[in-house]
């Protein structure tokens, strides 16, 4: 099966994903209803929809940060839902990168140290190797002159570019981004939007972005619309 996925263009697939939560301990609320999709290698997919439509829940399940009530997600042929928390964490670190609306950088570390972190967690790279990979990416996102600054010393756009470099440093197969321009002014959002497109083409990664930003969505290869927990 693994060999089939190496040959296949599909890198991530969801089949019949449903997610329900119990509200107030009583009523069950269905957030996702039988969602199926597949993402090909180097494809850029935008997921749009109103607040509460289930976009972020779907992204978290696709990235193995949450598990579905029903259905399954496969990443490069591995069933995410069937893995325990440790194995799921290993697969996320090896194959997936995440960018959020709020950058979630570690305040006490420099930009360079923040970007090094995912590689050092793997315990396969030396500090020197991790630093070199991080420097290369920070230079690529236009922050070569800011890499020794801490997040508080960076602008919102600079912090988001550090977060993007951190997501890319492990050379993931798929980057998942949740409202990556949602906290930025219009000019900075456009800069980050162009950066996503350029990096996707350069690095050949797949990109799944949940967004309200129609400018960003329109740069995607494919736009999926969610409504009341379903793809429409």
pLDDT of residue 211: 86
- Beta-sheet strand order (sheet of 78-79): 27-40, 10-23, 70-75, 78-79
In angstroms, the CA 219 to CA 164 distance is 17
Burial label for 217, CB within 10 Å (0-12, 13-18, 19+), is: buried
pLDDT digits (tens, 9 = 90+) for 124-152: 678 888 888 888 888 887 888 888 899 88
Tokens of residue 1, six digits = 């099966």
pLDDT of residue 5: 44
pLDDT of residue 25: 66
Which residue, 204, 146, 215, is CA-closest to 175? 204
pLDDT of residue 8: 61
Below-50 pLDDT ranges, the chain: 1-7
| Residues ≥6 apart with Cβ < 8 Å to 179 | 56, 100, 101, 210, 211, 212, 213
pLDDT of residue 2: 47
From residue 189, give the alpha-carbon distance in Å to each of 157, 193, 194. 8, 6, 9
């Amino acid at each position: 099966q693994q060999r089939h996925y190496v040959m296949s263009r599909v890198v991530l697939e969801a089949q019949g994903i449903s997610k329900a939560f119990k509200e107030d301990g009583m009523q069950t609320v269905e957030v996702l209803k039988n969602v199926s999709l597949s993402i090909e290698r180097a494809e850029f997919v935008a997921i749009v929809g109103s607040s509460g439509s289930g976009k972020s829940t779907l992204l978290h399940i696709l990235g193995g940060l949450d598990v579905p009530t029903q259905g399954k997600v496969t990443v490069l042929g591995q069933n995410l839902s069937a893995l325990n928390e440790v194995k799921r964490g290993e697969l996320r670190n090896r194959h997936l990168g995440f960018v959020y609306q709020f950058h979630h950088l570690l305040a006490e570390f420099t930009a360079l140290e923040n970007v090094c972190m995912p590689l050092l967690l793997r315990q396969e790279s030396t500090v020197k190797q991790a630093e070199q990979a991080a420097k290369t990416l920070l230079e690529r996102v236009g922050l070569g002159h800011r890499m020794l600054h801490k997040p508080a010393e960076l602008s919102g756009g600079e912090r988001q570019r550090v977060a993007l470099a951190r997501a890319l440093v492990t050379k993931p197969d798929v980057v998942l981004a949740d409202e990556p321009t949602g906290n930025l002014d219009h000019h900075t959002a456009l800069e980050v939007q162009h950066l996503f497109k350029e990096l996707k083409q350069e690095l050949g990664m797949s990109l799944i972005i949940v967004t309200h930003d129609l400018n960003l969505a329109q740069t995607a290869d494919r736009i999926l619309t969610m409504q009341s927990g379903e793809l429409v």
